[in-house]
Every structure is written in structure tokens, then in C-alpha cells.
Structure 1
């Protein structure tokens, strides 16, 4: 089992999730695509990955653009566990 920091957001009629990952994951296309698919399947909504240290984002362009104007501390974070 692994525990992740996840924010479930509803904004402008779109529900999506933001999942915190280690920064190096965002530089690895296979790893980031695998995590996006895993979490989208798990949560049933689009997913954006966010680097834990530098807050760089990866995912749907419209969601990434919206997140660029929001400080991460304003997101509704919770811990979720995957089996």
C-alpha cells in the first residue's frame, strides 16, 4: 500500500484530481503517463500531477492553466491510500 497527497477539486463545472509526486517523475514520460492513467481510473476524473518540491504540473492543459493561478496551499489536500 502507498499513501499519496491528493486534492479533489471542482472548478468551473470540471471535477479533477491533483496528485503530488516526486519532482523527477514529471521528467519521465512513461512514469508520469502511468500515474495519470492509474489515478484517472482510480478516481474517475482527469488527473494533474504536481511536483512536491517545485510545484511543476503535468496534465490537461486547461487544468494546468487554472492551477498556475492557484497556490498549492489553497487546494483541498487529503491523504489517499492505493492498494
Structure 2
């Protein structure tokens, strides 16, 4: 499986962001399950999910401090990469 994501280190915290479909972040149990599924790809660091609406506005799901921080980061500043799992 290939997916897009990023690993970021900011303010001493290293975390991963994974791009998912919008319906995943809108369902907390599905989102929590998805975070657990990606955890082996990013061992030892928090995983946050990101989905965009039809206008490209991102929504983040995961650890609240990271999700809140990312809400203020322009999406074009995120160092996206392709990953295989």
C-alpha cells in the first residue's frame, strides 16, 4: 500500500501526518483504528491524520496539541513524501 505523509519535528516533538479520505477523520472510531494501523510505519512517534474538504481545507485528527498546531501551518509548507507499507 502506498500513501502520502510527512514526518515533522517541531518544538521538540517529532510526529507523523498521514493523508486519508475525509470520511475517516469524520468517524472517531475509524480514525483511531487508522492511526493504530499506521503506527508500525512510524514507531515511537504520534500519528496524526489529515483530510481535505472539497475546497482543499485540511482537517487534522489525532493528538490534540499536534492537530491544533498543524491547523495553523499552511499545507504547502508540509514536507509530503510517498511511503510504502
Do these two structures clear the TM 0.5 threshold for a shared fold by scoring above it?
Answer: yes
In the alignment, the residues of structure 1 paired with residue 74 and residue 24 of structure 2 have an alpha-carbon distance, to the nearest angstrom, of 21
The match for 1:28 is: 27
The match for 2:58 is: 55
Q: Whose relative contact order is higher, 1 or 2, with alpha carbons under 8 Å and at least 6 apart?
A: 1
How well do the aligned residues superpose, as a CA RMSD in angstroms? 1.2
The match for 1:80 is: 83
Aligned residues: 81
TM-score, normalization by structure 2: 0.86
C-alpha deviation, 1:30, in angstroms:
2.7
Which runs of no fewer than 5 residues in structure 1 stay unpaired? none
Moved beyond 3 Å, runs of 4+: none
TM-score, normalization by structure 1: 0.88
In the alignment, the residues of structure 1 paired with residue 2 and residue 52 of structure 2 have an alpha-carbon distance, to the nearest angstrom, of 14
Which runs of no fewer than 5 residues in structure 2 stay unpaired? none
